């Protein structure tokens, strides 16, 4: 089991996130922009070679994304603008659970946990990985969700609730007389 640390990007939807080890050695860079169709978020190794990419293929309330590694599609997923996320990444059969406002994320399969991330006091995310398999994809997904937080807060969705809707102040025709009664 090992730990990686993600810095938060300085800009909302774009910028560079550095991924370091416990001794502050840079292991990955995550760079790109999300939020619009055809935007990409890419993870690079320390030699700036691209390892994996998330590409947004649609916009709207339920945008879709493609996850690719070395220019080959390995999965796809959709996301909503709500703050509680449950994603299923097709082909890889990964479940991603997260709370955007708490910046806590967990990636797992049906049988075991692949990665867990939670915030530290210095605003970095600590990512715990049990092994090095698919490490670049896991870190990229967590960095993506960390950036998606900015978009979800920018466009918050409030779903109508029957019990919390305000009652109308004026009720039409409540005191009117029928037209045939004079």
The pLDDT value recorded for residue 20 is 94
Q: Taking residues 69-85, what's their average pLDDT?
A: 82
Residues forming a β-bridge with 96: 87, 107
The pLDDT value recorded for residue 160 is 44
Q: Which CATH class is domain 2-154?
A: mainly beta
Q: Is 89's pLDDT higher than 90? A: yes
What value does the mean pLDDT of the chain take? 82
Q: Where are the domains of the chain?
A: 2-154
How many C-beta atoms lie closer than 10 Å to residue 60's C-beta? 8
Write the pLDDT tens digit of every residue in 113-133: 999 999 999 889 999 999 888
Grouping H, G, I as helix, E, B as strand and the rest as coil, residue 152 is helix
Q: Which of 85-89, 128-132, 151-155, 173-177 has the highest mean pLDDT?
A: 128-132
Q: Is 140's pLDDT higher than 90? A: yes
On whether the CB atoms of residues 89 and 76 are closer than 8 A, the answer is yes
Write the pLDDT tens digit of every residue in 34-72: 888 999 999 999 999 999 999 999 987 788 999 999 999
Write the pLDDT tens digit of every residue in 66-76: 999 999 999 99
CB neighbours of 158 closer than 8 A, spacing ≥ 6? none
């Amino acid at each position: 089991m090992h730990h990686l640390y993600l810095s938060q990007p300085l800009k909302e939807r774009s910028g560079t996130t550095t991924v370091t080890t416990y001794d502050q050695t840079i292991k990955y860079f995550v760079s790109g922009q999300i939020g619009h169709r055809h935007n990409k978020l890419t993870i690079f190794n320390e030699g700036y070679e691209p390892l994996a990419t998330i590409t947004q293929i649609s916009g709207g309330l339920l945008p879709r994304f493609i996850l690719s590694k070395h220019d080959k599609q390995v999965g796809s997923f959709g996301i909503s603008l709500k703050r509680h996320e449950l994603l299923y990444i097709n082909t890889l059969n990964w479940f991603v659970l997260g709370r955007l406002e708490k910046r806590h994320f967990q990636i797992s399969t049906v049988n075991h946990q692949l990665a867990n991330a939670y915030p530290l006091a210095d605003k970095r995310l600590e990512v715990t990985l049990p092994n090095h398999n698919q490490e670049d994809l896991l870190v990229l997904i967590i960095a993506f969700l960390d950036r998606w937080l900015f978009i979800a807060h920018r466009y918050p969705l409030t779903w109508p609730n029957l019990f919390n809707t305000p009652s109308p102040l004026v009720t039409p025709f409540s005191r009117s007389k029928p037209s045939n009664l004079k």
